[in-house]
Amino acid sequence: MLLPARSPGDPEKYPGEQFGLPERGPRSVAGMGRRLLALLIDWLASTVVALVIFHSAGWTLVVFSAEVYLLTALTGFTLGKRLLGLRVARLDGRPVGFLWSLVRTILLITVIPPLVTDRDLRGLHDRAANTIVIRS
């Protein structure tokens, strides 16, 4: 369970500090570069699957959405996140689950919410689902 480890009035020194996460290493907040690379891996894998199954790259968004939704709900990571040592975690310590993964995925595929981040590098999709992307 991720709990606040500081007083509400204290300024944060690094992303994730307010949730009791370490500054670096396992369970620290994942950097944007690593997250974008994981997204690219997921998109490329989804394109390959769409081409193999449907013989059209036009199905990439559908395959990508299904991959992100199901794998995040069941495991907390997608193919790209797993390869890069990242994981989606709920702030209350519970599994992401199907409902919050759905909320997160819908906002993710609209593109803009993930680009609007706070000081903890949480996009609007993470804030809506009460999640954070951490290093595993």
Ordered per-residue pLDDT tens for the chain, 136 residues: 454 555 555 677 999 999 999 999 999 999 999 999 999 999 999 999 999 999 999 999 999 999 999 999 999 999 999 999 999 999 999 999 999 999 999 999 999 999 999 999 999 999 999 999 999 9
For 21, 39, 69, the CA distances from 26, given in Å and listed in that order, are: 9, 20, 24
Query: Residue 125: which H helix or E strand, with range?
Result: helix 124-129
Sign of CA dihedral 83, 59, 61, 106: negative
In 20-83, where does DSSP find H-type helix? 32-54, 60-75, 79-83
pTM of the prediction? 0.89
